Chains A and B, each alone.
Chain A
Amino acid sequence: MNNTNESRSYKTSGYYDTHDPDYRSPINVWAVTGVYVLIAWSEIFASVTTLEYAFTKAPKNMRSMVMSVQTFTTAFSAALSQAFTPLSTDPHLVWNYGSVAIIAFTTGVVFYLFYRKADQNEDQLNLLPTGHVGTAAQAEDLERRLSISAEKRASPVIDDTSFEKKV
């Protein structure tokens, strides 16, 4: 009993203690701003960077595709946050935020350890040359044309394509 009173004296008492729907904590609502500012910063770091990462790391002919994978993985976060619904009632809410904090922090550390090596190759990765793709038939056709034009340059004869056009 004593304990509860003590804890109440430094807590501003909670909604779940009073069960009064009109309960208002005396803490100014601007205290929440800190959370929003930190989340905004984390977005600048993580979310903006994924856009940048998708653009610079995609094969040059698949940029939209890699960008869409980036968008698609975001969809999973919606499903993931559903798993936390049981924690979003009042007595558990502290642990809702607490567990998200622990998970995010741990993931951040593991993520860095996992990609430390790739991080050191960042410049090399950005400097990769452009690759080329074409169908085999196109490649053969191209090679044939190249060899024909090389032959023609070697021995200039009557241009039979212009003859075909006249007919």
Chain B
Amino acid sequence: MILTPLQQAATLDPSFKDTSGDPERKHPELHTTGPPAYLQSEGKAGIQESYIASDRDDFPTIEEMHTLRRVPQHVPIRIFTIGFVELVERMSYYGTVALYSNYIRAKRPTPTGAALDPSSANAQPGALNMGKQVAFSLTTFNSFWVYCCPLLGAWIADTYLGRYKTIVYSVFIAIVGHVILVASSAPKVLDKPDTALGVFVLGLLIMGLGTGTFKPNISPLIMEQIPEEPMRVEKRGEERVIVDPAVTATRVYNWFYWFINWGALIGQLCMVYAERYVGFWLAYLLPTVAFCFTIPVLMYCKKSYVLKPPSGSVIGPAMKLFFKALGTGLVANPIQTVKNWNDGTMWNKVKPSTLGANKPAWYNFDDAWVDEVARGFSACGVFVWVPIFWLSYRQIDNNLTTMCATMSLHGVPNDVLQNLDPIALIIFVPIMDLFVYPALRKRNINFSPIKKITAGFIVGALGMVWAAVLQYYV
């Protein structure tokens, strides 16, 4: 039996399959034929030109890119089953984390930890009575832990398991963590605070591991459900428009964020009430039960999802390539070095086609991949700036809550005040996606990601100016 080159390629390694994300070939239009591109191109840049300018006649010209209105691709509603899974996961996470501080810090007023007089404004549930310091260290450690585990989850997903499997496993891990937290809040366990603390820390670690490995995989998975295609010109009625996948990404992630904030709102409201009126066991149990609902959804929808296979070890070569590229710019003078890194030629110097026969033995990729890695690293550079943005966001966590406490409440419940951020997002995300962004695109205003992030910095700063002025007058 003689296999076609493509079939042979596919038997070797999943990474040789074309990257259309449809291993079962349910969508034939997504697939390329012929041997893998990296052999065809022999590492030369030629293939890129043919890909971009493309043999398609619906590919927009430079002029059309500047003049035609951009519209998103069709977004199928079924991809929001993934949004639902994220909603429930966030609800469980935020609902649980909202309890940590009271649970560790405050004295136990009743056997279950519920407040003595739950309906009063000063109701104070508590359990372990370990004080402010322990509570602060553990909650800080937790936020550090859940932001580090994503690196592990991403490495596992990209290299070995793929996103879907990693998500399913991490859901199971998180449920185990939640169950341990429920155990740590049983009244019998709370009788011995030291034991309870030990069980609690174990639960916190395992739940954080589950949540952390879940996090970096769910957001690419939702966007991967939309067919990947380069932008194209299409006729909508009389008007010619560009169908742009980047606009689709803006739409999908806006609604994804909407789901996240529903989760945060429901979680924080419900669990705080459960803790105050019934006790910690219920407040930890509800997220656990809710989380279990994600499993049937994931299982049932699996057949309708587009799943990309993992691509084997790519992180190692990417890092090696990065350092090799940095190495080409390295000279004794540090200013010159930085200049070399920023003159735009750094990555071209390490392309397989540039190095030719001199390329190292570990070079097992084509020029196109070098370009992709360069783009990836420059995106990571953008993320380095983002913590400064979060600085203004974090002010609303505690300082602003304290400010609210010194103002006239006029019957506004405290819980509404503490959840104003998710409430505002739930209101504004649809307005932005359905009205503001389309209006901007209609006027041909290109509100690109870099401009949007800049706007985020400025609007955040304005929010802080408002807070400062208000603080002055309060």
Contacts and interface: CB of A to CB of B under 8 A. Distances in A.
Interface of A: 11-12, 14-15, 23-78, 80-81, 84, 88, 93-98, 100-105, 107-109, 111-112, 115-116, 118-119, 122-136, 138-139, 141-143, 145-146, 149, 152-153, 159, 161-162
Q: Is the contact region of chain A dominated by helix, strand, or loop, or is it mixed?
A: helix
A80 B387 contact: yes
A161 B158 CA distance: 35
A111 B470 contact: no
B400 interface: yes
Contact of B9 (A69, A142, A159): A142
B155 to A, nearest CB: 7
Counting chain B CB atoms within 10 Å of each CB, which of A35, A52, A84, A153 scores highest?
A35
B453 A45 contact: yes
B5 interface: yes
Nearest to A33: B420
A38 B461 CA distance: 9
Interface residues of B, number: 139
B1 A161 contact: yes
A134 B13 contact: yes
Contact of B147 (A44, A71, A97, A135): A71
Interface stretch (B35-43, B291-299, B330-338): B35-43
For the complex of A and B, the 10 pairs showing the least CB-CB separation, nearest first, are A131-B369, A46-B456, A108-B457, A38-B463, A132-B38, A77-B390, A75-B147, A45-B456, A101-B464, A40-B424
B111 interface: no
B442 interface: no
Contact of B379 (A15, A33, A58, A111): A58
Interface string B432-474: 1000000000000000111111111111111111111011111
A135 B423 CA distance: 50
B157 to A, nearest CB: 4
Contact of B448 (A32, A78, A119): A119
Contacts of B429: 44
B97 interface: no
Nearest to A114: B385
Interface in B362-417: 362-373, 375-376, 378-380, 382-396, 398-400, 403-404, 406-410, 412, 417
Given A38-B463, A45-B456, A104 B216 contact: no
Contacts of B368: 128-132
Contacts of A111: 385, 450, 453-454, 457
Given A50-B383, A100-B392, 18 more contacts: A29-B404, A40-B421, A45-B459, A49-B456, A50-B386, A52-B249, A59-B314, A61-B19, A62-B158, A72-B148, A93-B399, A97-B467, A115-B450, A131-B369, A133-B365, A138-B16, A143-B39, A145-B8
Interface in B113-138: none
Nearest to A49: B452
B425 A43 contact: yes
Nearest to B437: A44
Interface in B1-36: 1-5, 8-9, 12-13, 15-16, 19, 35-36
Contacts of A61: 15, 19, 158, 311, 314
Contact of A55 (B220, B314, B380): B220
Nearest to A104: B461
Contacts of A75: 143-144, 147-148
A78 B97 CA distance: 15
Interface of B: 1-5, 8-9, 12-13, 15-16, 19, 35-39, 47-48, 51-52, 65, 140, 143-144, 147-148, 150-151, 153-155, 157-158, 163, 166, 215-217, 219-220, 223-224, 230-231, 245-246, 249-250, 253-254, 256-257, 311-315, 317-318, 361-373, 375-376, 378-380, 382-396, 398-400, 403-404, 406-410, 412, 417, 420-421, 423-425, 428-429, 432, 448-468, 470-474
A38 B460 contact: yes
A32 B318 contact: no
Contact of A74 (B9, B147, B367): B147
Contacts of B361: 136
A150 B251 CA distance: 47
A41 B393 CA distance: 11
Nearest to A111: B385
A94 B472 contact: yes
A73 to B, nearest CB: 4
Contact of B253 (A48, A58, A123, A128): A48
A54 B153 CA distance: 16
Contact of A108 (B13, B395, B461): B461
A32 B417 CA distance: 9
Contact of B155 (A57, A65, A73, A84): A65
B15 A132 contact: yes
B369 A133 contact: yes
Given A30-B412, A142-B16, A55 B249 contact: yes
Counting chain A CB atoms within 10 Å of each CB, which of B12, B256, B467, B473 scores highest?
B467
B3 A133 contact: no
Counting chain A CB atoms within 10 Å of each CB, which of B166, B432, B458 scores highest?
B458
Counting chain B CB atoms within 10 Å of each CB, which of A45, A58, A64, A125 scores highest?
A64
Contacts of A93: 399, 403, 471
Contacts of A48: 250, 253-254, 256-257
B143 A35 contact: no
Nearest to A139: B364
A134 B41 CA distance: 14
Nearest to A63: B220
A12 B17 CA distance: 69
Contacts of B369: 59, 131-133
